[in-house]
Amino acid sequence: MNSQCMPRIRFRKKTTKNLIPFALRPRAVAFVFATMAIFPLTAFAQVCPNPAVVVGTACTVPPGTIITVTPANAIGLNASGALGQIVGGGITVNLAAAGTTGALAQAGATIIFNGSTLLTTATTTANSAGQVGLRANGTASTISSSGSAITIGPPNGTTTANNLTGAIAESGGILNLSNTPITMLGGANGVSNHGLVATAAGSQISYLGGTISTLSRGSFGVLAQNGGVVTLGNAAQVITTGAQNTAAQVGSHALFATGAGSQIVGTGIAISVSGLFASGARAESGGLVSLTGGTIASSSTAATDADPSSAARALSGGVLNLSGVTIDATGLRGVGFSVQDAGSQATVSGSTITVDGARAPAAFIFGGGQATVTNSTLISNNNHGVSVQDAGSTVTLTGTAITGSTSPSVIGYGLRVVTGGSATMIGGSTTTTARDSPGIYAAGGAVVATNVVVTTSGPDNAIGVLADGGGQITLNGGTVTTHGDAVRQASFPHALGARNPGGVLTSTNTTLLTTGITAMGAVADDGGTMILNGNSITTLGLRSIGLYSVTEQVGAQFPANLTASGVTVDTSGLFAHGAAAQARNDVPVEKATLTVNDSAITTHGEGAVGLRATLGDYGTRPITGRGEAAVIANRSNVFTEGIGAHGALSRDNPTSVTMNDTVVLATGAIAHGSVAQAGGLIVGNNTRVTAIGAEASALLVVGEGGPVSNAIFANSLLRNVSGPTIGVAGAGNVSLTGTVAGGSGQWLRVGTIDNFPLLAAPEPPLTGIPDPIGPDDPLPPPMGPFPPPAAPGAMPGLANVLLDGSTVTGSAFTAVGSVSNVRMLNDSLWIMTGNSNLTNLLNDPSLIQYTPPTGDPTQLASYKTLTVVNYVGEGGQIGLNTYLGADGAPSDMLVINGGTTTGDTTLIVKNTTGPGALTVANGILVVDTINGATSESTAFTLAGDYITKDGQPAVVGGAYAYTLHFNGVGADSGDQNWYLRSLAIPNPPGPVPPVPPKPRYQPGVPIYEVYPQNLLALAAVPTMQQRVGNRYWTEPAPAPETVFCKDASQNFQCPVTGAQAQYYAGAAVG
């Protein structure tokens, strides 16, 4: 058919008036067929009138038709009524005036707009204002478009235009668009130029394929409001580049669902946003945005942290669902996704969110928002991985990997929960690499993390997990690993930290590993509380303490408490102590307490003390007070290896280390089992302390002036192999109750500090965890330098030692100029293995037992002396070894040097190999008073083998009995000494001594003399008659034996023949 055969259709006003009811008449529309298409007329459709307005009928706009919509507010295609339909395929609709609409389906009508073009031809701001491309209004009103293109706004793209809409479904209207790009122009300063809009309940838009773009201020790519629903798919793209609306501060969001019931659902779509305050996906006021697959790329920025330009955002009750979505955000404060306000929710699963912008976390939940994240990856390269703040804000993370700042100089936490927020993390990981960036942080918030892997590798305060003021963190299982160093002074990349009042961290069965300078395992600081159960803690590095409790804050004062139960601590490094508590000694601070229960602590390294309580001088002058530090170990094992690596150290007053049912083993040279220094206190109950290194004491008490250092042990064991078991340098008090001490051969040494191997100088004090540093905060000024610790003074020893029901083995030594006061109470035992000297000794009632001589027992050098200035016996005993022989025979001795001996003491004398002999002079010296010393005449008695007939206890040596005598004889009659003598002294008035001297024999002598003579006489009897005497038999001889026979004459009893006797003998044997 040729075009000349086609009928010409003309549009007349009259005809138009007849078609359209008055109420629905639009303004005049320029309807121009630029090219008249050739098409058959069918019974199913007619060519649309001019203008193309139908009510309840169907028409078709011929392909190639160009419709120019004018004047203002005119409509290009207008279909009304349930049966109204306009089909426009391959046509062009130009919007030439303000407020014009390209196509309107209303009251249930349908418009099909395929392969067509709809664009703005108006060139001015005024003429293009308020234009709409496609509009479906009313229930079931539908516009479908496939393969079309919609461009709204002045064509040059720079002219400002406002309030433009690419396509809108309202009041139940429906838009079905596929592969239909929508380009919103209007210039960079235009306002509210939206791509797709679904408004009111029942309004629906389906957009499959194609690209939606906007470039003006506050201009959304897709808007669902007041219950409208938009579905996006088939690789559709939404791009917004506009800045914010300066009047209302509204960003150009790509997807924006606001109002109850409003929904935007996207599958496999790509979103790109830029500009201030813009979000890739935004759900607000009950609106829902749900995305499956696809990507969001955002370079949008924001002016404040409280109003971020999130790539995806839910606020004011909005709901955000992301599944398998990849988000890349790069702008300043360009958050990956955020949830804000009570009732707002986000569910994220299987998604990857990467944020590169400054001050932009990957996830930000605040103002009461709630989020659930599952099997996702959250990365913020320049800020926190996840930030939760404000009351009611919560996030649950399951199987999710979080990464805080990866820029070394930009602070970024892994998971940050503050000011009332809360987080639950199950599985997954949190990682940071920047300085001062904890893996998990809570301040005024709460975190529960189960089986989470926490890793930080940044320097300074890159703490694994930190509970700050009011923050509560619970860790169940999982691992915490830090790799940083303390580059800046007073900064520490610890594994766990709790600081400030209400900062509580509870960790159960978590494995901790730190590698770096001053990288500690677990720290409680100034009001912080740390509770550990079943943890494994390993630290590697200089001063990398396993457990640390510290108070050092000036101003408001708060105690620090760390309790570890069933933990294993292993530290390696110089001064890498196992468990340490520290307070200050220059200003008043609260108490730092560390308690270890049922745990094992091992240190490797020089000066790495197992249990340590100290005070530190931070240099404040004048000194106004001091704090207190205490370490308590219950039912635990402590092992140290390294030079000077003491098992326990308490330095300064008031500090203390208390060990209950605990085993301590120090293995290094000069590594003492326990040390109380400068007023410190060591307490052991049912505890075993052993030092096996060279010159290492089980207990060293060092008093350097000021408060006296103290050690108290009950029911314990102190052992060492080299040096004194107990050493007291300077002023110190030692109390042993029910305790055994010894092992090295010297149980006590008292002197100045110079009489002992030099102790390492105290390390400079360690500060607590400093205040967290914000992104805009300057670095804190360096602390210190701290004043150098004072060298221990060479103060003379002044030791007060109490033995109460205890046993000590070895010698005791007191240096010249020092004083030792030893009290032995309640059956204490001193097994004295070498020459000893003390200042004052009380024996009440206890036993001092000299060990047998180790050399020739006939030589005095083989025996031992105990030299004291003053000795008091109150029922005590002294066990001596004596060669019982003639005058001057060698013996162990008690020597009183210049003092006195009083009270009553029993001497228990054991003969070594002495044969016994007559003493004719002073006898054998056992108590020697020298340099003017005196003794009471009743001070000593002898524990005798028997009592003599004159009532004296006596000991036996050979045939002689020795009794104890006060004073010598002759010229020595007033020497105040005590002797053993075997001379019998007759009762007065006989001569003294008798002439010739009469020995005192022991009572066995007569028996020993007569009994051998009797035995000899019996052995010499010459004959048996003399031995048994003469024997006589008064009875008759017995009758001969007979056997039964038949001879009646013999009364049937016949004599036994020889043959019979042999027979019966053989039968008996057989």
pLDDT at 619 over 90: no
- The reported pLDDT for the residue numbered 1017 is 64
- Residues 6+ away with beta carbon under 8 Å from 302: 276, 277, 308, 309, 331, 332, 333, 334
* Residue 786 pLDDT grade (very low, low, confident, very high; cuts 50, 70, 90): low
Task: Work out the average pLDDT over 115-120.
Answer: 98
Task: Work out the average pLDDT over 617-641.
Answer: 95
Distance of CA 431 to the CA centre of its chain: 17
In a domain, 104, yes or no: yes
Distance of CA 1033 to the CA centre of its chain: 106
pLDDT at 222 over 60: yes
pLDDT tens sequence across 949-1007: 999 999 999 999 999 999 999 999 999 999 999 987 655 555 555 556 678 887 776 66
Q: Which residue has the tokens 């194609």?
A: 210
Phi and psi based region of residue 286 (left: phi greater than 0; alpha: psi -120 to 50; beta: remaining): left
pLDDT tens sequence across 571-587: 999 999 999 999 999 99
Range of the domain at 16: 1-252
- The reported pLDDT for the residue numbered 553 is 87
In a domain, 218, yes or no: yes
Q: What whole-number distance in Å separates Cα of residue 287 and Cα of residue 289?
A: 7
* Residue 789 pLDDT grade (very low, low, confident, very high; cuts 50, 70, 90): low
Cα angle 398, 400, 406; round to 5: 150
* Residue 460 pLDDT grade (very low, low, confident, very high; cuts 50, 70, 90): confident
- The reported pLDDT for the residue numbered 520 is 92
Q: Which residue has the tokens 């060698």?
A: 890
Domain boundary residue, one of 974, 1003, 1032: 1003
Total structural domains within the chain: 2
- The reported pLDDT for the residue numbered 31 is 41
Q: What whole-number distance in Å separates Cα of residue 520 and Cα of residue 542?
A: 10
pLDDT at 700 over 50: yes
pLDDT tens sequence across 341-394: 999 999 999 999 999 999 999 999 999 999 999 999 999 999 999 999 999 999
pLDDT at 20 over 80: no
In a domain, 289, yes or no: no
In a domain, 337, yes or no: no
In a domain, 978, yes or no: yes
pLDDT at 441 over 60: yes
- The reported pLDDT for the residue numbered 24 is 36
Domain boundary residue, one of 252, 282, 315: 252
Q: Which residue has the tokens 């690789």?
A: 235
Helix count and strand count (H, E) for the chain? 5, 96
Q: How many CB atoms lie within 10 A of CB 172?
A: 19
- Return the sign of the alpha-carbon dihedral for residues 863, 868, 870, 876: negative
Q: Give the closest residue to 400 by CA, choosing from 470, 459, 342, 322.
A: 322
Coil vs helix vs strand at 229: strand
Coil vs helix vs strand at 354: strand
Coil vs helix vs strand at 226: coil
- The reported pLDDT for the residue numbered 681 is 98
Max avg pLDDT among 214-218, 261-265, 462-466, 986-990:
261-265
E-strand spans in 359-443?
Answer: 363-366, 370-374, 377-380, 386-389, 394-398, 401-403, 415-418, 422-426, 429-432, 440-443
In a domain, 676, yes or no: no
Report long-range pairs for 1044-1049 (Cβ below 8 Å, ≥24 apart): none
pLDDT at 3 over 50: no
- Residues 6+ away with beta carbon under 8 Å from 742: 718, 719, 725, 807, 808, 809, 810, 831
pLDDT at 25 over 50: no
Instruction: Name the percent of the chain lying above pLDDT 70.
Output: 87
Q: What whole-number distance in Å separates Cα of residue 409 and Cα of residue 565?
A: 37
- The reported pLDDT for the residue numbered 13 is 34
pLDDT tens sequence across 132-142: 999 999 999 99
804 CB-contact burial (10 Å; exposed 0-12 / middle 13-18 / buried 19+): middle
Q: Two tokens at 546? A: 């396993």
* Residue 517 pLDDT grade (very low, low, confident, very high; cuts 50, 70, 90): confident
In a domain, 241, yes or no: yes
Domain boundary residue, one of 194, 224, 252: 252
- pTM for the full predicted model: 0.84
Q: Which residue has the tokens 């960079």?
A: 188
- The reported pLDDT for the residue numbered 301 is 87
- Residues 6+ away with beta carbon under 8 Å from 46: 57, 58, 59, 60
- The reported pLDDT for the residue numbered 777 is 60
Coil vs helix vs strand at 122: coil
Do residues 548 and 516 make contact, with C-beta atoms less than 8 angstroms apart? Answer: no
pLDDT at 1020 over 80: no
Q: Which residue has the tokens 């004719």?
A: 920
In a domain, 857, yes or no: yes
Task: Work out the average pLDDT over 422-451.
Answer: 95
- The reported pLDDT for the residue numbered 740 is 98
Do residues 300 and 332 make contact, with C-beta atoms less than 8 angstroms apart? Answer: no
* Residue 89 pLDDT grade (very low, low, confident, very high; cuts 50, 70, 90): very high
pLDDT at 184 over 50: yes
- The reported pLDDT for the residue numbered 690 is 99
Residue 881: its H or E element: strand 865-882
pLDDT tens sequence across 235-259: 999 999 988 776 667 888 999 999 9
Tell me the pLDDT of the chain averaged across its residues.
90
- The reported pLDDT for the residue numbered 38 is 32
Instruction: Output phi, psi for 14, to 5 deg.
Output: -60, -45
pLDDT at 33 over 60: no
